[in-house]
Structure 1
Amino acid sequence: MAPVRFLSTPSQPQSQPQVHAAEAMRPFTNEISMLFSSGVSGGNRRRILCYGDSLTAGFYDGGRWFQPYGRMLADELAAYGGRCEVVVCGLSGKSAEDMATNTNSTLVDVCGISWKGISRVLREDGPFDLAILMAGTNDLPYPSKRCAAATNILQLHTACHAVGVPTLAIAMPPAPCGSELWCRDREQLLKQMKNLFSKFARDAKLNYHMMTFFDPADLLRPDDKMLWDCDGLHFSQIGSVVLGKCLAKMILEMQNPHGDFSRQIRGRQLPTSPISRQQWAMKAQSTLPPLQTSYAWNTKSCKNSCKKPELFIGRYVKLGCF
């Protein structure tokens, strides 16, 4: 499904760190956000916030490694010129309810890593030109959380709108491990989100560029094993890369639907070295090692899925400061 605009796996390195149970639960109090930057200084600069759960974190291999889609998003947008900075907050194991009730607090995820609530991120790490929010997967198994998930997700968006930041809502993707009941609950939540978001946009008389909804079901197909971790719930390295690349193209088309986009530099074509759990906890992306192994991956799904947004009572417009 194309995005809706609302009006008004590669082999791992041989030496994987052994994470013992006691170490895995040890809290890390470093609250700073993970920053990925790419491109040349000067000229046009984009700043994007990616906020969500373990799918935003790029959690895979049981949490030993991380490959956030925001990392590739920064590189891909910078390939079209200017500089891109992407702030990633991936709260593994946290539900939309957890995020919505702690917007001004500190949250500790299932890996023991501390993160800021979304209002704190907007206030302390901004300004941002766009916020990409993906939450709800951890609400689906619990009926009480699932019933309130759409409202809680909307609260995250309104926190961004309150400080003038447009938002892109990415629906929870269909997972290979999902049962028939899980898939039915997912579809019901997506319907609730679309209805609630569109009503909110009309009632609040939002400017038409402030909120966009995207269901990645056609992009991240559950039957494509290359896109998914062996647990059947999280993205593989390749899945995160495909999502990051396609979101970059989508953002550019939302900015200028009739534009002729050409790369000024060649974007990264392969997954970069994954981030270890310790590096992720310390937010130490600047110390990441260079890519050691060449991987081959299929870009067909990305190319075929980067469709222009379908508008909900609207039209293409320039998005924010892009």
Structure 2
Amino acid sequence: MAKKTDNELAESSKPKAKECFAIMPISDVEGYETGHFKRVYEDLITPACIGAGFTPRIASDVKETNLIQLDILKRLLDAPMAICDISTHNPNVLFELGIRQAFDKPTVIIQEKGTKGIFDISSIRYTEYDKRMGYRDVLDGQKAITEALQATANPEGGSVNSIVNLLALAGPAEIPQLDGQQRANAEIDLLRADVQDMKSMLRTLQRNIGGSNSNTNSSSSKSRILAELLANRIARPPLQEYYFPRNVDEKTFKNFLGELAMEHGAENVEVKEGSDGQRIIHAFEAKKE
């Protein structure tokens, strides 16, 4: 076995930087240039995190398990720091921010200049950046976000952006300690939900192959195709979910669906019926050959 060099030993002995989880859109948003929020993450958030002594992480980094929602939830609760971009008023982003607030976890809130306010509480602090993302804009944004991260990590006179402190609540939310039977029941409920999802996938796939040509009409061929398609879907959790209320006009829905199909491939986009008539679009990452 080769011995480590002095430089390698020095690097390995350095303490690892704490994680900062970015809560923000991870795909393109209507009204913005293609790749806009990817640039916000790479050009603003990443350098700012590193400058403040944190390792940046984002939801799209979570690929090690099919239960991507649980991984994101765990990171939301465990990350020492989070940075949340509320520029688009994205429901998923605001939901994840609410989780951080409920558990009184340090969070820096950022938004582009001109974003319409959504908080009625004036004491909430946020840092602004310029949407144009010019050279000087990026440098100024990096500096402002770095300072906000440092101030939030080392607050003076109480936590920054703490709803718990602001409303003088008795304490943050806590995850209850489950005994053996309660934990088992929770795991069974989770498995039941997974089974229901798999049944839904099977029904969708059965409809999709129902119109196949005659050479796939035998039960054995259909079973094989069904198994292959189902395994493919389970191995690839949705890269992103989009929720459309029933009052969204059909033209807007179809235009958005067409854009996703062009980006991911029609075979990697599916539509499901949700509660109250809403439609849910799942966009999957293209399968690598």
**Structure with max Cα Rg:** 2
The question of a shared fold, defined as TM-score above 0.5 by the shorter chain, is answered with no
Q: Give the shorter-chain TM-score range.
A: 0.3 to 0.5
* TM-score when normalising by structure 2: 0.36
Looking at secondary structure, tell me which structure has more helix per residue.
Answer: 2
Structure with the greater relative contact order (CA < 8 A, sep ≥ 6): 1 or 2? Answer: 1
Please report the TM-score for the alignment, with normalisation by the length of structure 1: 0.33
